[in-house]
Amino acid sequence: MNTTIRRSFAIIGSGAVGGFYGARLQRAGFSVHFLLNHDYPFVRDNGLRIDSKDGNFQLPHVNAYDCIDKMPPCDVVIIALKTVHNAILPQLLPSLIKPNGCVLVLQNGLGIEQEIAKVVGTTHVLGGLCFICSNKMGPGHICHLASGHIALGEYLPNDQAAGITLSMKDLADDFTRAGIKINLSEDLNIARWKKLVWNIPYNGLSVVLDATTDQLMKNPLSRMLVKNIMQEVIVGAAACKHSIADTYVQEMLDYTDSMISYKTSMKIDYDEKRPMEVEAIFGNPLRAIVNAHSCAPRIEMLYQELNYLDKKK
């Protein structure tokens, strides 16, 4: 296997998502550089361990960093931090991207690429929506429970659809080589709103009601609430000129019914008293809907409830 022609990856935020995809890329022969926080000493000494429904594996040696300044410039910079830490990016991101490199944002929510694009100038910015159930079990130890595919799109300013671009195809080739299924989206905006159809009800209600996904689906009234909120997201997206078929609601309900009992990432953040991604996942979509002269009372209520819980901690 000739790894020298392969592109290099920087993983900014090597948790349940970044750590998993980075490990898969390294296993496929790519040069991967992992930025870590608290887990740095452990991962530097012990590497990464991935327990996955697709097969367990270990990487005894990885390129681990505790500081973005020490990382080499890479072809692809993957942002897999929680959005609440994005304030650190403007200072650090530009020097990390090789000429002709690109940034791939693997974060949930809305309005993320817009902020990144401001910082990185003409560099291509892509967004990936990860349909994955994975949890960090301990330092350097990630458990991949279900799904794993990514909906990929390229960012253009002013909510334009970029179509299928060369940057997207190149990234899809890399991930496919690592065994990760990529769905190319001609319109990143729609891909992001579609992801919100899942994230807004489940992330929000899992925190407010202290519930796993299957518990929310089991009670008829909370199940109806999930559905009501999904419909509200689709109406809101339409107000912002991003059309999603109504049938997508049932698709997401079926998808969740087929999942194992899952604790959402926002619920894990809440339980571990970490800040929640309230603005990226709730505040930004809500403001987009209001700016489009529409309203979304349930999303607004969930936003208000989560803001209260987030600030109270």
Shortest distance in whole angstroms from residue 113 CB to a copy of itself: 26
Q: How far from each other are the two terminal CA atoms of the chain, in whole angstroms? A: 50
Stretch that binds a copy of itself, among 49-57, 82-90, 153-161, 212-220 (CB under 8 A): 212-220
Shortest distance in whole angstroms from residue 87 CB to a copy of itself: 21
Reported as type and span, the H/E element at residue 57 is strand 57-59
Considering the rule CB under 8 A, would residue 273 count as an interface residue with a copy of itself? no
Q: Which of 225, 238, 239, 268 binds a copy of itself (CB under 8 A)?
A: 225
Q: Which of 176, 228, 250, 261 binds a copy of itself (CB under 8 A)?
A: 228
**What does the block give as tokens for 89?**
């990016």
Considering the rule CB under 8 A, would residue 261 count as an interface residue with a copy of itself? no
Q: Do 32 and 25 meet the contact criterion of CB atoms below 8 Å apart?
A: yes
Catalytic residue from among 82, 136, 194, 195? 195
Paired residues of 151 in beta bridges: 129, 183
User: Nearest-CA neighbor of 235 among 243, 227, 226, 224?
Assistant: 243
Q: Which of 90, 214, 301, 313 binds a copy of itself (CB under 8 A)?
A: 301
Stretch that binds a copy of itself, among 67-75, 122-130, 150-158, 221-229 (CB under 8 A): 221-229
Longest distance between any two alpha carbons in the chain, whole Å: 56
- The answer to whether 267 is a known catalytic residue is no
User: Nearest-CA neighbor of 301 among 267, 271, 278, 268?
Assistant: 278
- Between helix 247-258 and helix 220-239 the angle, nearest 10°, is 140
Residues that bind a copy of itself in the complex, under the rule CB under 8 A: 205, 208-209, 211, 215-216, 219, 221-222, 224-225, 228, 297-298, 300-301, 303-305, 307-309, 311-312
Active-site residue list: 195
